[in-house]
Structure 1
Amino acid sequence: MKRLIFVIIFGLFTSSSFAQTLPDFDAIKLDKREDFNAAADNAALQASNFLLSTALEKNNLDRLKSLEYVIKWMSGTPDYSFTLDEQATKFAKKNDDLLGLYMAAMTKYVLENKEDSKDQNKIKLNAVKLIIEYAKNEKNKVKLNSELKKAIEADNKGQLAEYLNH
């Protein structure tokens, strides 16, 4: 039990410090229900934080491995469910990088806000807010398409929730 508490505290510390040292995702098995434990969740949060704190680069192996892990974790976790609705992912059409970031943002939100993890509208709203924050940072090299610009404009007006639900 002490070991589990230590792992959780250590995981929270490392993820909040945005350490760029990533887990060995290949060594983390996600084959059965029991595999989706605190360590697996922590790795998903680390991967999400990494993706949301590094610039888009097509050939960055760490980004690719992180995204692969997030997708595998999202697909198998018994504790959370995710919806990729059309309105929330409109800005990601023809841009797989943004879709991957949206998935990382949803993962980050549910793991950091467990009390809201069943509310798909809160997950969607807050994940899109994370994407907007990411896209506004020029160092991340996001090309703003018209839908992303509309989402940013709606967010600036305090109308993002309405934009996402129309």
Structure 2
Amino acid sequence: MKKIIILLLAVVAFSFKTKAQTFHVPENYTLKEKADYGKYEDDVIKGIDWLQDTPWPLEEQKRMETNVFLMKWIQGSPTVSIEINGSVAKMTEKNPQLLMTFMGGYTKYALQNKTAFDKNKANQAGVKAVIDKYVVETDHKNNSLLNKLTKIDKDGKLADWMTSDFNKTK
């Protein structure tokens, strides 16, 4: 039994490592025309996944380049528009890396749900990405709202919180 558990852990660790290495920041990308953004949608999703899967202390240069690429794409995108409200600001104030995590979760949802886009579900995807990243990053700074949201999410009540409280935090 122990050998099976060790083997499973090794497979999971290996698959995480290979997944994290599969993204490459596009070189010499151009984001000027509306059509330019569509060409990079797959790269945007891969970059978001890479940031989500890669621990903060690893590959700092690639993390910075990925953040720059994603921020430029999100800021100029003709199809994705993100509003940062008080709840998002409060979630990310002590761990500013989580702001890109929120925008990534929102953007990924928007790109994967173009025909049935729902702003509330996009915000929830962003919040869920923040919670998931906060939980796995061992060197995060403590955040009382995220501690509360982690419990709410574990209890399966994140959608309820989104409906009742997401737009109320100032």
Alignment match, 1:64 = 64
* Structure 1 residues 92 and 61: alpha-carbon distance in aligned structure 2, compared to 1, 3 A threshold: same
Aligned to 2:55, the other structure's residue is in SS state coil
- Give the residue type in structure 1 aligned to 2:23: L
What SS class does the counterpart of residue 55 from structure 1 fall into?
coil
Check the 8 A contact 1:74/1:81 in 2, yes or no: yes
Q: Hey, what does 2:5 align to over in structure 1?
A: none
Q: Point out 4+ residue stretches in structure 1 off by more than 6 angstroms.
A: none
1:58 is displaced (CA, Å) by 7.9
What letter corresponds to residue 19 of structure 2 in structure 1? F
Alpha-carbon contact 1:45-1:108 (below 8 Å) kept: yes
Classify the secondary structure of the residue corresponding to 2:124.
Answer: helix
Aligned: 1:34 with 2:32: no
Count of residues paired in the alignment: 147
The letter for the 2-side match of 1:85 is N
User: Percent identity over the alignment?
Assistant: 27
SS of match in other structure, 1:30? coil
| C-alpha separation in 1, matches of 2:19 and 2:71 | 20
State the TM-score, normalizing by the size of structure 2. 0.75
Q: Could you say if the C-alpha distance between residues 24 and 146 of structure 1 is closer, same or farther in structure 2, counting changes exceeding 3 Å?
A: closer
8 Å CA contact retained: 1:88, 1:124:
no
Task: Provide the secondary structure at the position in 2 that maps to 1:111.
Answer: helix
Structure 2: gaps (5+ residues)? 1-17
Aligned to 2:142: 144
**Which amino acid in 2 is paired with 1:134?**
K
Shift of 1:91: 0.9
- CA-atom RMSD, angstroms? 2.2
Q: What displacement does 1:44 show?
A: 0.8
TM (norm. structure 1) is 0.76
Structure 2 Cα separation of the partners of residues 115 and 133 of structure 1:
26
One-letter identity of the residue aligned with 1:31 = K
The alignment status of 1:135 with 2:139, answered yes or no, reads no
Distance in 2 separating the partners of 1:54 and 1:19:
6
Specify the alignment match of 1:79 in structure 2: 79
Q: What is the alpha-carbon distance in structure 1 between the residues aligned to residue 72 and residue 31 of structure 2?
A: 8
Cα deviation, residue 97, structure 1: 0.8
Instruction: Decide which structure has the larger Cα Rg and report it.
Output: 2
Where does structure 1 lack aligned partners over 5 or more consecutive residues?
A: 1-16
Deviations 1:126-162 (A, max 9, x none): 1111221222225x64333112112223323414322
Offset of residue 116 of structure 1 = 4.1
Q: Distance in 2 between matches of 1:147 and 1:22?
A: 31
Tell whether the 8 Å contact from 2:106 to 2:123 is kept in structure 1 after alignment: yes
Report the 3-state secondary structure (helix = DSSP H, G, I; strand = E; otherwise coil) of the residue aligned with 1:26. Answer: coil
User: Cα distance 1:165–1:43, how it changes in 2: closer, same or farther (>3 A)?
Assistant: same
User: Cα distance, 1:108 vs. partner?
Assistant: 1.7
